[in-house]
Structure 1
Amino acid sequence: MDAQRKDIHNSELPVLCRACEARHRGVCGALSPSQLVSLNKQSTRKSVGAGTELIGESQETKTYANIISGVVKLTKMLSDGRQQIVGLQFAPDFLGRPFRIDSGISADAATDVNVCSFPKSVIERMIKDAPELEHRLLEQTLKELDEARDWMLTLGRKTASEKVASFLYLIATHVNPDADSDSVSFQLPLTRSDIADFLGLTIETVSRQLTKLRKDRVIVIVNNRHVEVPDLDALAERASQ
Protein backbone atom coordinates (compact mmCIF):
# COMPACT_ATOMS: atom_id res chain seq x y z
CA MET A 1 0.00 0.00 0.00
CA ASP A 2 1.55 3.33 -1.04
CA ALA A 3 2.07 6.39 1.15
CA GLN A 4 -1.18 8.04 0.05
CA ARG A 5 -3.18 5.02 1.28
CA LYS A 6 -1.55 4.70 4.72
CA ASP A 7 -3.75 4.15 7.74
CA ILE A 8 -5.30 7.37 9.03
CA HIS A 9 -3.83 6.73 12.46
CA ASN A 10 -0.27 6.72 11.04
CA SER A 11 1.95 8.51 13.57
CA GLU A 12 3.50 10.53 10.75
CA LEU A 13 0.25 12.43 10.26
CA PRO A 14 -0.37 15.73 12.07
CA VAL A 15 -2.66 15.21 15.06
CA LEU A 16 -5.42 17.42 13.65
CA CYS A 17 -5.38 15.51 10.35
CA ARG A 18 -5.91 12.05 11.85
CA ALA A 19 -9.59 12.53 12.69
CA CYS A 20 -10.37 15.15 10.02
CA GLU A 21 -13.25 14.41 7.65
CA ALA A 22 -11.33 16.03 4.78
CA ARG A 23 -8.59 13.49 5.39
CA HIS A 24 -11.08 10.59 5.33
CA ARG A 25 -13.32 11.60 2.43
CA GLY A 26 -12.11 14.97 1.14
CA VAL A 27 -9.31 16.30 -1.01
CA CYS A 28 -6.63 15.85 1.65
CA GLY A 29 -7.05 12.09 1.29
CA ALA A 30 -5.01 12.48 -1.91
CA LEU A 31 -1.97 13.74 -0.01
CA SER A 32 0.89 11.70 1.43
CA PRO A 33 1.79 12.03 5.14
CA SER A 34 4.75 14.29 4.30
CA GLN A 35 2.53 16.54 2.16
CA LEU A 36 -0.04 16.72 4.96
CA VAL A 37 2.69 17.73 7.39
CA SER A 38 3.77 20.50 5.01
CA LEU A 39 0.20 21.70 4.48
CA ASN A 40 -0.58 21.53 8.20
CA LYS A 41 2.26 23.96 8.96
CA GLN A 42 0.53 26.61 6.82
CA SER A 43 -3.07 25.78 7.70
CA THR A 44 -5.38 27.62 10.06
CA ARG A 45 -8.34 26.05 11.83
CA LYS A 46 -11.14 28.41 12.71
CA SER A 47 -14.75 28.37 13.81
CA VAL A 48 -17.24 30.95 12.52
CA GLY A 49 -20.83 31.65 13.43
CA ALA A 50 -23.87 31.35 11.18
CA GLY A 51 -24.13 34.31 8.83
CA THR A 52 -20.38 34.91 8.58
CA GLU A 53 -19.09 35.61 5.08
CA LEU A 54 -16.37 33.15 4.06
CA ILE A 55 -15.91 34.24 0.46
CA GLY A 56 -17.07 37.49 -1.09
CA GLU A 57 -18.46 37.54 -4.63
CA SER A 58 -15.88 38.91 -7.09
CA GLN A 59 -13.40 39.17 -4.22
CA GLU A 60 -9.83 38.15 -5.02
CA THR A 61 -9.16 34.63 -3.79
CA LYS A 62 -6.20 34.39 -1.43
CA THR A 63 -7.07 31.25 0.52
CA TYR A 64 -8.92 27.97 0.07
CA ALA A 65 -10.49 25.84 2.79
CA ASN A 66 -11.84 22.43 3.69
CA ILE A 67 -15.21 22.43 5.44
CA ILE A 68 -14.69 20.38 8.60
CA SER A 69 -18.24 20.70 9.93
CA GLY A 70 -21.36 22.73 9.27
CA VAL A 71 -23.14 23.90 6.13
CA VAL A 72 -22.12 26.70 3.77
CA LYS A 73 -24.58 28.40 1.41
CA LEU A 74 -23.47 29.71 -1.97
CA THR A 75 -25.22 32.77 -3.37
CA LYS A 76 -25.15 34.85 -6.53
CA MET A 77 -26.27 38.46 -6.71
CA LEU A 78 -27.83 40.33 -9.63
CA SER A 79 -26.86 43.90 -10.49
CA ASP A 80 -30.08 45.25 -8.92
CA GLY A 81 -29.29 43.64 -5.57
CA ARG A 82 -31.51 40.58 -5.84
CA GLN A 83 -29.84 37.48 -4.47
CA GLN A 84 -30.29 33.77 -5.16
CA ILE A 85 -29.01 30.78 -3.20
CA VAL A 86 -27.40 28.58 -5.86
CA GLY A 87 -26.02 25.75 -3.77
CA LEU A 88 -25.00 24.27 -0.45
CA GLN A 89 -21.70 22.76 0.62
CA PHE A 90 -21.11 20.28 3.41
CA ALA A 91 -18.16 18.66 5.16
CA PRO A 92 -15.69 17.67 3.77
CA ASP A 93 -16.19 19.80 0.64
CA PHE A 94 -13.38 21.98 -0.66
CA LEU A 95 -14.28 25.67 -0.56
CA GLY A 96 -12.85 27.73 -3.41
CA ARG A 97 -12.08 27.59 -7.11
CA PRO A 98 -8.44 26.80 -7.97
CA PHE A 99 -6.78 28.77 -10.75
CA ARG A 100 -9.40 31.54 -10.72
CA ILE A 101 -8.66 35.08 -9.64
CA ASP A 102 -12.04 35.37 -7.89
CA SER A 103 -14.75 32.96 -6.81
CA GLY A 104 -17.68 34.31 -8.87
CA ILE A 105 -20.03 33.59 -5.95
CA SER A 106 -20.27 34.44 -2.28
CA ALA A 107 -20.08 31.76 0.41
CA ASP A 108 -21.63 32.30 3.83
CA ALA A 109 -21.89 30.06 6.87
CA ALA A 110 -25.48 28.80 6.95
CA THR A 111 -24.79 27.21 10.35
CA ASP A 112 -21.88 27.41 12.74
CA VAL A 113 -18.97 26.20 10.60
CA ASN A 114 -15.47 24.87 11.22
CA VAL A 115 -12.99 25.24 8.38
CA CYS A 116 -9.34 24.50 7.78
CA SER A 117 -7.92 27.18 5.50
CA PHE A 118 -4.61 27.42 3.67
CA PRO A 119 -2.94 29.86 1.26
CA LYS A 120 -3.97 29.64 -2.39
CA SER A 121 -0.35 29.49 -3.54
CA VAL A 122 0.36 26.43 -1.39
CA ILE A 123 -2.54 24.39 -2.78
CA GLU A 124 -1.84 25.34 -6.38
CA ARG A 125 1.78 24.29 -5.92
CA MET A 126 0.69 20.99 -4.39
CA ILE A 127 -1.68 20.37 -7.29
CA LYS A 128 1.33 20.44 -9.61
CA ASP A 129 3.28 18.07 -7.37
CA ALA A 130 0.41 15.67 -6.57
CA PRO A 131 -1.67 14.61 -9.62
CA GLU A 132 -4.00 12.69 -7.28
CA LEU A 133 -4.95 15.98 -5.59
CA GLU A 134 -5.88 17.50 -8.94
CA HIS A 135 -7.90 14.35 -9.70
CA ARG A 136 -9.71 14.58 -6.35
CA LEU A 137 -10.59 18.26 -6.98
CA LEU A 138 -11.89 17.36 -10.43
CA GLU A 139 -14.04 14.64 -8.88
CA GLN A 140 -15.59 17.16 -6.48
CA THR A 141 -16.20 19.62 -9.32
CA LEU A 142 -17.97 16.94 -11.38
CA LYS A 143 -20.00 15.88 -8.34
CA GLU A 144 -21.13 19.48 -7.84
CA LEU A 145 -22.01 19.68 -11.55
CA ASP A 146 -24.15 16.53 -11.29
CA GLU A 147 -25.87 17.91 -8.18
CA ALA A 148 -26.51 21.24 -9.95
CA ARG A 149 -28.13 19.40 -12.86
CA ASP A 150 -30.28 17.37 -10.49
CA TRP A 151 -31.32 20.60 -8.78
CA MET A 152 -32.24 22.14 -12.15
CA LEU A 153 -34.61 19.19 -12.60
CA THR A 154 -36.02 19.75 -9.11
CA LEU A 155 -36.66 23.43 -9.71
CA GLY A 156 -37.93 23.04 -13.26
CA ARG A 157 -40.16 19.99 -13.09
CA LYS A 158 -41.06 19.00 -9.54
CA THR A 159 -44.15 20.07 -7.62
CA ALA A 160 -43.94 22.22 -4.49
CA SER A 161 -44.36 19.11 -2.33
CA GLU A 162 -41.58 17.29 -4.18
CA LYS A 163 -39.29 20.33 -3.95
CA VAL A 164 -39.58 20.57 -0.17
CA ALA A 165 -39.11 16.80 0.19
CA SER A 166 -36.08 16.98 -2.13
CA PHE A 167 -34.53 19.70 0.01
CA LEU A 168 -35.03 17.65 3.19
CA TYR A 169 -33.60 14.57 1.46
CA LEU A 170 -30.56 16.59 0.35
CA ILE A 171 -29.84 17.63 3.93
CA ALA A 172 -30.61 14.20 5.39
CA THR A 173 -28.20 12.43 3.04
CA HIS A 174 -25.37 14.92 3.56
CA VAL A 175 -25.36 15.44 7.33
CA ASN A 176 -24.43 11.80 7.97
CA PRO A 177 -23.65 10.11 4.63
CA ASP A 178 -22.04 7.03 6.19
CA ALA A 179 -24.91 6.19 8.52
CA ASP A 180 -26.29 2.66 8.23
CA SER A 181 -29.62 3.57 9.79
CA ASP A 182 -32.74 4.19 7.72
CA SER A 183 -33.57 7.15 9.98
CA VAL A 184 -31.74 10.41 10.54
CA SER A 185 -32.20 13.65 12.46
CA PHE A 186 -30.74 17.07 11.74
CA GLN A 187 -31.03 20.80 12.25
CA LEU A 188 -32.33 22.68 9.22
CA PRO A 189 -29.35 24.73 8.02
CA LEU A 190 -31.54 27.38 6.39
CA THR A 191 -34.36 29.57 7.65
CA ARG A 192 -37.74 29.04 6.02
CA SER A 193 -37.15 32.26 4.11
CA ASP A 194 -33.88 30.89 2.71
CA ILE A 195 -35.50 27.53 1.93
CA ALA A 196 -38.18 29.37 -0.03
CA ASP A 197 -35.48 31.30 -1.90
CA PHE A 198 -33.54 28.12 -2.65
CA LEU A 199 -36.65 26.32 -3.94
CA GLY A 200 -38.31 29.22 -5.76
CA LEU A 201 -41.36 29.05 -3.50
CA THR A 202 -43.08 31.36 -1.02
CA ILE A 203 -42.48 31.00 2.71
CA GLU A 204 -46.15 30.10 3.16
CA THR A 205 -45.87 27.27 0.62
CA VAL A 206 -42.77 25.88 2.33
CA SER A 207 -44.55 25.93 5.70
CA ARG A 208 -47.65 24.22 4.26
CA GLN A 209 -45.59 21.46 2.66
CA LEU A 210 -43.58 20.87 5.84
CA THR A 211 -46.83 20.60 7.78
CA LYS A 212 -48.20 18.12 5.23
CA LEU A 213 -45.08 15.95 5.45
CA ARG A 214 -45.38 16.05 9.25
CA LYS A 215 -49.07 15.09 9.22
CA ASP A 216 -48.27 12.22 6.83
CA ARG A 217 -45.57 11.10 9.31
CA VAL A 218 -42.82 11.34 6.71
CA ILE A 219 -40.97 13.71 9.05
CA VAL A 220 -41.15 14.72 12.70
CA ILE A 221 -40.61 18.40 13.46
CA VAL A 222 -39.26 18.48 17.01
CA ASN A 223 -39.01 22.26 17.06
CA ASN A 224 -38.78 25.02 14.49
CA ARG A 225 -35.41 23.82 13.11
CA HIS A 226 -34.91 20.24 14.33
CA VAL A 227 -36.23 17.55 11.99
CA GLU A 228 -36.32 13.77 12.31
CA VAL A 229 -36.78 11.45 9.34
CA PRO A 230 -37.98 8.00 10.51
CA ASP A 231 -37.68 6.40 7.05
CA LEU A 232 -35.35 7.84 4.41
CA ASP A 233 -36.92 5.68 1.70
CA ALA A 234 -40.33 7.21 2.40
CA LEU A 235 -38.84 10.69 2.13
CA ALA A 236 -37.05 9.76 -1.11
CA GLU A 237 -40.37 8.53 -2.53
CA ARG A 238 -42.06 11.85 -1.70
CA ALA A 239 -39.13 13.65 -3.34
CA SER A 240 -39.44 11.48 -6.48
CA GLN A 241 -35.78 10.55 -6.14
Structure 2
Amino acid sequence: MNRSNFSLRRAALAAGLAAAAAASSTAALAAGDDLAAAEWDAPFVFNMVRSPGLASSPACVVNAKGRVSIQKVGEAEEMTVQLQGLPANTEFDLFVLSVPNFPFGMGWYQGDMKTDWQGKARQKFIGRFNKETFSLAIGNSVPAPHVHDSPFPDASATPLTPPVHQYHLGLWFNSPADAQKAGCPGAVTPFNGEHNAGVQVLNTSNFPDLAGPLKRVK
Protein backbone atom coordinates (compact mmCIF):
# COMPACT_ATOMS: atom_id res chain seq x y z
CA MET A 1 0.00 0.00 0.00
CA ASN A 2 1.48 3.33 -0.98
CA ARG A 3 1.66 6.28 1.42
CA SER A 4 -1.16 8.14 -0.35
CA ASN A 5 -3.68 5.29 0.02
CA PHE A 6 -2.67 4.78 3.68
CA SER A 7 -3.25 8.44 4.44
CA LEU A 8 -6.68 8.33 2.82
CA ARG A 9 -7.67 5.27 4.86
CA ARG A 10 -6.50 6.94 8.09
CA ALA A 11 -8.52 10.04 7.25
CA ALA A 12 -11.64 7.96 6.51
CA LEU A 13 -11.25 6.06 9.80
CA ALA A 14 -10.86 9.29 11.77
CA ALA A 15 -13.94 10.76 10.11
CA GLY A 16 -15.92 7.64 10.95
CA LEU A 17 -14.88 7.75 14.59
CA ALA A 18 -15.76 11.44 14.80
CA ALA A 19 -19.18 10.79 13.30
CA ALA A 20 -19.81 7.95 15.74
CA ALA A 21 -18.81 10.15 18.67
CA ALA A 22 -21.06 12.94 17.46
CA ALA A 23 -23.96 10.53 17.06
CA SER A 24 -23.35 9.17 20.56
CA SER A 25 -23.26 12.69 22.03
CA THR A 26 -26.43 13.63 20.19
CA ALA A 27 -28.19 10.53 21.48
CA ALA A 28 -27.04 11.25 25.03
CA LEU A 29 -28.19 14.85 24.75
CA ALA A 30 -31.55 13.74 23.44
CA ALA A 31 -31.91 11.25 26.28
CA GLY A 32 -31.00 13.99 28.74
CA ASP A 33 -33.60 16.30 27.21
CA ASP A 34 -36.24 13.60 27.48
CA LEU A 35 -35.33 13.01 31.12
CA ALA A 36 -35.47 16.72 31.90
CA ALA A 37 -38.83 17.03 30.18
CA ALA A 38 -40.18 14.07 32.12
CA GLU A 39 -39.25 15.76 35.40
CA TRP A 40 -41.61 18.69 34.66
CA ASP A 41 -45.23 18.19 35.68
CA ALA A 42 -47.89 19.32 33.23
CA PRO A 43 -49.74 22.44 34.43
CA PHE A 44 -53.13 21.97 36.05
CA VAL A 45 -55.74 24.18 34.33
CA PHE A 46 -59.22 25.04 35.58
CA ASN A 47 -61.92 27.70 35.25
CA MET A 48 -63.37 30.29 37.58
CA VAL A 49 -67.09 31.00 37.20
CA ARG A 50 -69.42 33.91 37.85
CA SER A 51 -70.22 34.04 41.55
CA PRO A 52 -73.57 32.43 42.46
CA GLY A 53 -74.00 35.35 44.86
CA LEU A 54 -74.79 37.51 41.81
CA ALA A 55 -77.80 35.40 40.81
CA SER A 56 -80.20 38.19 41.82
CA SER A 57 -78.26 40.72 39.70
CA PRO A 58 -78.77 39.53 36.09
CA ALA A 59 -77.10 42.61 34.57
CA CYS A 60 -73.91 42.24 36.63
CA VAL A 61 -70.79 41.04 34.73
CA VAL A 62 -72.80 38.42 32.85
CA ASN A 63 -69.82 37.49 30.62
CA ALA A 64 -67.22 37.30 33.39
CA LYS A 65 -64.87 34.32 33.13
CA GLY A 66 -61.58 33.23 34.62
CA ARG A 67 -58.99 30.63 33.66
CA VAL A 68 -56.22 29.47 35.99
CA SER A 69 -53.06 27.48 35.33
CA ILE A 70 -50.84 26.12 38.12
CA GLN A 71 -47.33 24.91 37.29
CA LYS A 72 -44.81 23.44 39.72
CA VAL A 73 -41.68 25.60 40.02
CA GLY A 74 -39.11 23.91 42.25
CA GLU A 75 -40.57 23.75 45.76
CA ALA A 76 -43.36 26.23 45.01
CA GLU A 77 -46.05 26.81 42.39
CA GLU A 78 -46.61 29.46 39.73
CA MET A 79 -50.27 30.33 39.35
CA THR A 80 -51.36 32.29 36.27
CA VAL A 81 -54.84 33.83 36.41
CA GLN A 82 -56.53 35.16 33.28
CA LEU A 83 -59.77 37.16 33.33
CA GLN A 84 -62.19 38.36 30.67
CA GLY A 85 -65.67 39.79 30.34
CA LEU A 86 -65.11 42.33 33.12
CA PRO A 87 -65.39 46.15 33.16
CA ALA A 88 -62.46 47.88 31.46
CA ASN A 89 -59.65 49.51 33.44
CA THR A 90 -60.97 48.24 36.77
CA GLU A 91 -59.15 46.84 39.80
CA PHE A 92 -59.96 43.51 41.44
CA ASP A 93 -58.67 41.55 44.43
CA LEU A 94 -57.85 37.83 44.43
CA PHE A 95 -58.18 35.67 47.55
CA VAL A 96 -57.48 32.04 48.42
CA LEU A 97 -60.44 30.64 50.37
CA SER A 98 -61.67 27.66 52.36
CA VAL A 99 -65.02 27.63 50.52
CA PRO A 100 -65.93 29.64 47.43
CA ASN A 101 -69.24 31.19 48.52
CA PHE A 102 -70.42 33.18 51.54
CA PRO A 103 -69.33 33.03 54.33
CA PHE A 104 -66.08 31.84 52.66
CA GLY A 105 -64.41 30.34 55.74
CA MET A 106 -60.73 31.18 56.15
CA GLY A 107 -59.21 33.37 53.44
CA TRP A 108 -55.97 35.15 52.65
CA TYR A 109 -55.23 38.03 50.30
CA GLN A 110 -53.24 36.79 47.30
CA GLY A 111 -52.93 39.95 45.18
CA ASP A 112 -54.40 42.54 42.83
CA MET A 113 -55.44 42.38 39.19
CA LYS A 114 -56.41 45.23 36.84
CA THR A 115 -58.27 44.86 33.57
CA ASP A 116 -57.21 46.53 30.32
CA TRP A 117 -59.42 48.47 27.90
CA GLN A 118 -60.97 45.18 26.74
CA GLY A 119 -61.92 44.06 30.24
CA LYS A 120 -59.17 41.42 30.31
CA ALA A 121 -56.37 40.83 32.82
CA ARG A 122 -53.52 38.39 33.30
CA GLN A 123 -51.36 38.01 36.41
CA LYS A 124 -48.82 35.50 37.72
CA PHE A 125 -48.42 34.63 41.40
CA ILE A 126 -45.68 32.55 43.04
CA GLY A 127 -46.49 30.70 46.25
CA ARG A 128 -47.99 27.57 47.75
CA PHE A 129 -51.01 26.60 45.66
CA ASN A 130 -51.43 22.87 46.22
CA LYS A 131 -52.94 20.27 48.57
CA GLU A 132 -50.75 21.59 51.42
CA THR A 133 -52.09 25.16 51.31
CA PHE A 134 -53.37 26.08 54.78
CA SER A 135 -53.45 28.69 57.56
CA LEU A 136 -53.19 28.23 61.32
CA ALA A 137 -52.74 30.01 64.64
CA ILE A 138 -51.36 27.80 67.41
CA GLY A 139 -51.72 30.37 70.20
CA ASN A 140 -54.88 31.96 71.56
CA SER A 141 -55.17 35.74 71.99
CA VAL A 142 -51.75 36.44 70.48
CA PRO A 143 -51.51 40.21 69.80
CA ALA A 144 -52.13 41.15 66.15
CA PRO A 145 -51.31 44.40 64.28
CA HIS A 146 -54.29 46.75 64.29
CA VAL A 147 -54.02 48.80 61.08
CA HIS A 148 -57.57 49.52 59.89
CA ASP A 149 -60.57 50.65 61.94
CA SER A 150 -63.39 50.76 59.41
CA PRO A 151 -65.60 49.57 57.89
CA PHE A 152 -64.23 46.17 58.98
CA PRO A 153 -61.78 46.78 61.87
CA ASP A 154 -58.70 44.61 62.24
CA ALA A 155 -58.68 42.14 65.10
CA SER A 156 -56.35 43.10 67.94
CA ALA A 157 -55.65 39.46 68.79
CA THR A 158 -55.35 36.22 66.84
CA PRO A 159 -57.86 33.49 67.75
CA LEU A 160 -56.68 29.93 68.20
CA THR A 161 -57.07 28.26 64.78
CA PRO A 162 -56.11 24.65 64.03
CA PRO A 163 -54.76 24.07 60.50
CA VAL A 164 -57.41 25.04 57.94
CA HIS A 165 -56.83 24.11 54.30
CA GLN A 166 -57.77 26.57 51.58
CA TYR A 167 -58.34 25.14 48.10
CA HIS A 168 -60.62 27.71 46.46
CA LEU A 169 -60.18 31.09 44.75
CA GLY A 170 -62.40 34.18 44.78
CA LEU A 171 -62.20 37.53 42.98
CA TRP A 172 -63.74 40.76 44.31
CA PHE A 173 -64.29 44.26 42.96
CA ASN A 174 -61.76 46.48 44.69
CA SER A 175 -64.37 49.23 44.93
CA PRO A 176 -68.14 49.14 45.65
CA ALA A 177 -68.49 52.14 43.33
CA ASP A 178 -66.94 50.19 40.45
CA ALA A 179 -69.31 47.33 41.19
CA GLN A 180 -72.34 49.62 41.02
CA LYS A 181 -71.14 51.11 37.71
CA ALA A 182 -71.10 47.57 36.33
CA GLY A 183 -74.70 46.94 37.39
CA CYS A 184 -73.70 44.95 40.47
CA PRO A 185 -74.69 45.34 44.14
CA GLY A 186 -72.88 48.11 46.01
CA ALA A 187 -72.23 46.17 49.21
CA VAL A 188 -68.98 46.81 51.09
CA THR A 189 -66.88 43.75 51.94
CA PRO A 190 -63.49 43.29 53.69
CA PHE A 191 -61.78 41.65 50.69
CA ASN A 192 -59.04 44.16 49.85
CA GLY A 193 -56.07 45.73 51.58
CA GLU A 194 -58.16 48.47 53.23
CA HIS A 195 -61.16 46.17 53.98
CA ASN A 196 -63.53 48.27 51.86
CA ALA A 197 -63.91 46.14 48.72
CA GLY A 198 -66.97 45.48 46.61
CA VAL A 199 -68.81 42.23 45.92
CA GLN A 200 -67.36 38.94 44.75
CA VAL A 201 -67.30 38.53 40.96
CA LEU A 202 -65.75 35.11 40.25
CA ASN A 203 -65.00 32.00 42.27
CA THR A 204 -64.32 28.28 41.97
CA SER A 205 -67.77 27.07 43.01
CA ASN A 206 -67.63 24.77 39.96
CA PHE A 207 -65.70 22.50 42.39
CA PRO A 208 -67.07 20.96 45.62
CA ASP A 209 -66.79 23.08 48.76
CA LEU A 210 -64.34 20.72 50.47
CA ALA A 211 -62.44 19.73 47.33
CA GLY A 212 -61.43 22.94 45.60
CA PRO A 213 -59.07 22.91 42.62
CA LEU A 214 -55.88 23.55 44.60
CA LYS A 215 -56.40 20.22 46.33
CA ARG A 216 -55.69 18.49 43.00
CA VAL A 217 -52.19 19.92 42.75
CA LYS A 218 -49.77 17.41 44.28
**Band of TM-score, shorter chain:** under 0.3
Q: TM-score, normalised by structure 1?
A: 0.22
Q: TM-score, normalised by structure 2?
A: 0.24
More helix per residue: 1
More strand per residue: 2
Q: Which has the higher contact order (CA 8 A, sep 6+)?
A: 2
Give the greater-gyration-radius structure (CA). Answer: 2
